[in-house]
Chains A and B, each alone.
Chain A
Amino acid sequence: MATYKEIRGVNIQSRDSDPTAVEGDVWYNASTSKIRMFASLGSWASGGNLNTARRGIRGCGTQTAGLAASGATVAITEEYDGSSWTESGDLGTARYAGSHSGTQTASVYAGGFSATAVVANSEEYNGSSWTEGDDLGAGRYFIVGHGTQTAALATGGGPNSPRNSVILTESYDGSSWTEIADFNTAKKRHGGAGTQTAALIFGGDSPGATATTETWNGTAWTEVGDLNTARHGMAGFGTNTSAIAATGGPGPGTFSAIVEQWDGSSWTETSNVTAARRQSASAGNSTLGLIAGGDTGSVSSATEEWVVAASVETVAFD
């Protein structure tokens, strides 16, 4: 095991008081005779409940200005203000598990599964209502959306054959979808984060749960560090250098509370959500995020909010 000096370049320092610290700093506070450390602690707390419990919802936006659209199999759209969800204009096509990118006032929803079939159509949201946009090149469901309404990516998914997954990436410029690249491991029911030019995809159903992670630089996908726990049906939010992979399950009908944090090179397990689930909506970034709804064994309306708070902690010894 590496020593503190090997990792930080110095031995643990003695200080008269707590210094201005960065993540991972450890010091001895001579005034209180305590060893102290600076850590960022993430935790989950209840947010306002969705008005309609459902699974297969797709979210975008932020923790205090979130948007959740669709679900199996409804056209419902709900907006979140950091405390409560309010219904807004319905999608034109009831569906679930499409890709959803953008903000609470400007998003694009594409593909998904309607009550009877995979669909390819996309719709744009303006803060109150949806209008039809261009169709995806390939209709599919369990896709993940990245980016904004006018600069979006739709990654992976499954076509009509329920067991298949694809390696497809399509890009949206606000008017049309264009296939631009393939990634390495086919995925649907995966998690995602980031933008049109800097995206991250992780986990998913390949078929079968996969732990693989790939990062996108605007031109090509590169395989990077795997999740610690292979699973699918997870929620994701953040960027391609700092992201959260929450919940999911290792197999059909299974539900996980596991949360992992991505630092740009590897995944580390962090605080679990309070209710294991899959197929939730997600929004936000790696320090302020949320998941909402999903399947916990029965459909859920619950929202959980993720917050990372930096704090100085006293190190205790047994």
Chain B
Amino acid sequence: MATDKGFFNYWVVENSGKGFITHDDSRKFWIRGYPGNVWVCDDIPESRDWGARNSAATKTKSQAQTIVTNIIDDAKDAWDADNEEGESSAEKIRRLGSKPTDITLP
């Protein structure tokens, strides 16, 4: 069974829906999705086949992290900028959800 350990591939590809990740895929290798259509997989032949099947663009870890960080930073900025007069911080969280927090890729 795949685990969180080992070396990874970093991809960018939009989730196309049904068939994008199959049960067979998720049983064969570890895969995790992040904001910005970033996907991190075990670096094994099966995951490379998955990337090719979905025409995923290969990224370095640094490039992938930058994509995720930019998305989260934009979301934080949007959260900070979205205010209503007289609204408490708790009321803002209820309206918008909690402020996004940083995500660090494995």
Contact = CB atoms under 8 A, between A and B. Distances in A.
Interface of A: 41, 43-49, 55-56, 72, 83-84, 113, 115, 141, 162-163, 252-255, 257, 271-272, 274-276, 279, 295-298, 301-303, 305, 307, 309
B56 interface: no
A306 to B, nearest CB: 9
A271 B72 CA distance: 26
A72 B93 CA distance: 12
A118 to B, nearest CB: 9
Contacts of A301: 15
B26 interface: yes
A301 B14 CA distance: 11
Interface string B14-45: 01111111110111000111110000000000
Given A274-B26, A295-B97, A297-B34, A162 B91 contact: yes
Interface centre among A46, A276, A296, A303, by most chain B C-beta atoms within 10 angstroms, is A46
Contacts of A296: 33-35
B79 to A, nearest CB: 9
B62 interface: no
Contact of A252 (B32, B35, B93): B93
A298 B71 contact: yes
B18 A46 contact: yes
A297 B75 contact: yes
Nearest to A296: B35
Contacts of A45: 21-23, 25-26
Interface of B: 15-23, 25-27, 31-35, 68, 71-72, 75, 88, 90-91, 93-101, 103
Given A49-B16, A162-B94, A297-B34, 6 more contacts: A44-B21, A44-B26, A46-B20, A274-B31, A274-B32, A301-B15
Given A46-B20, A47-B17, A55 B97 contact: yes
B62 to A, nearest CB: 19
A171 to B, nearest CB: 26
Contacts of B90: 162-163
B100 A253 contact: yes
B88 to A, nearest CB: 8
Contact of B93 (A56, A162, A255, A257): A162
Given A254-B101, A297-B71, A48 B33 contact: no
Contact of A43 (B27, B35, B68, B97): B27
The 7 closest A-B pairs by CB, nearest first: A252-B98, A275-B33, A46-B20, A253-B98, A162-B90, A297-B35, A253-B101
A48 B26 contact: no
Contacts of A56: 97
A298 B75 contact: yes
Contacts of B32: 257, 272, 274-276
5 contacts: A43-B27, A46-B16, A296-B34, A297-B100, A302-B15
Given A162-B94, A253-B100, A297-B103, A275 B23 contact: no
Contacts of B26: 43-45, 271, 274
B6 to A, nearest CB: 15
Contacts of B103: 255, 297
B25 to A, nearest CB: 7
A276 B91 CA distance: 25
Which residue, of B17, B71, B90, B96, has the highest number of chain A Cβ atoms within 10 A?
Answer: B17
Nearest to A301: B15
A55 B95 CA distance: 11
Given A44-B26, A113-B94, A297-B35, A274 B17 contact: no
A240 to B, nearest CB: 26
Contacts of A83: 18
